[in-house]
Amino acid sequence: MTDAPLLTTSHLDVAYGRGRKRNAVLRDVSISIAPGETLGLVGESGSGKTTLGRAVLGLVPASGGTIGFDGSDITTLGPRGRRRLARDIQVVFQDPYTSLNPAMKIRDILTEPLIAQGIRSREANARVKELLDRVAMPENSLDRYSREFSGGQRQRVAIARALALNPRLIVCDEPVSALDLSTQQRVLDLLIEIQERTDVAYLFISHDLAVVRRISHRVAVMFKGEIVELGDAAAVTEHPQHPYTRRLWAANLVTDPEEQARRRALRHELEAEELEAVESK
């Protein structure tokens, strides 16, 4: 293994539409993720954080810049190359209710990526049991439909599907936002444990600073399609530099009522500062 980053995007642009209707969603985004590392990506809805994940997955085309994976350029990969890359890059989506096909049994959902990569069905079936075990789901889940499971259990199945091909990078798009608090923590713990065991890297997208802080080694903050701050998780989440990150930090609710009142006061200060800055311009 080398020290080379696993995933890099350099000066990545993504835009929807053409001509006058052209709408730039990502502007000049450069990030890198090392093997075994989690890069947290925070931002509000519409900031472009999900689009970055989809660009890495090849679900939206880049309109400028490059995406590199393991030393090769994957910006404009044909369908065949993409299919090969499926072994290395996988995804866990936000909503476990729509990311699993309701008409398919768990067994079929999990064996599908394996069979698509040419693995025989007997081997695939054996592997699927191991996968369920890894995400702490009982083996008898295999012949049931996703609707018979709770949100947290469904998300475990989605993680198992992502792990099926032993990928080296998983794009996690708000994987715990739809879950209850205690379930949220258990799923995060599972993701961390899997990372420690398999050295998989995560691009972890979330709007929740606290969640990102828990799982990330480094954190990137996205605002209106640009990365405005990037650094160590502790640094970004404790001593944010960019005004937007500071506002985000202050808006994050805490459970200590007194601390929360202090944060509220700080947020009001920041807002007033910003207003002043705008007016002085």
Nearest to residue 69, comparing CAs of 59, 80, 84, 79? 84
CB count within 10 Å of CB 193 equals: 13
Binding residue (CB under 8 A) for other proteins from 193, 260, 273, 277:
260
Contact present, 264 and 256 (Cβ < 8 Å): no
Is residue 257 at the binding interface for other proteins, with CB under 8 A as the rule?
Answer: yes
Binding part of the chain for other proteins, among 19-27, 28-36, 63-71, 127-135 by CB under 8 A, reads: 28-36
Spatial distance between the Cα atoms of 145 and 147, rounded to a whole number of angstroms: 5
Is residue 258 at the binding interface for other proteins, with CB under 8 A as the rule?
Answer: yes
Q: How far is the CB of 210 from other proteins (least distance, A)?
A: 4
Which residues in 172-191 contact other proteins (CB under 8 A)? Answer: 180-185, 188
Question: Is 88 in a helix, a strand, or coil?
Answer: coil
Spatial distance between the Cα atoms of 248 and 266, rounded to a whole number of angstroms: 11
Strands (E), the chain: 7-16, 23-33, 38-42, 64-69, 72-73, 89-92, 169-173, 201-206, 218-223, 226-232
Which residues in 65-104 contact other proteins (CB under 8 A)? Answer: 79, 82-87, 89-91, 93-95, 98-104
Binding part of the chain for other proteins, among 67-75, 111-119, 122-130, 273-281 by CB under 8 A, reads: 111-119
- Using the minimum distance from each CB to other proteins, give the nearer residue, 65 or 202: 202
Is residue 215 at the binding interface for other proteins, with CB under 8 A as the rule?
Answer: yes
Is residue 127 at the binding interface for other proteins, with CB under 8 A as the rule?
Answer: no
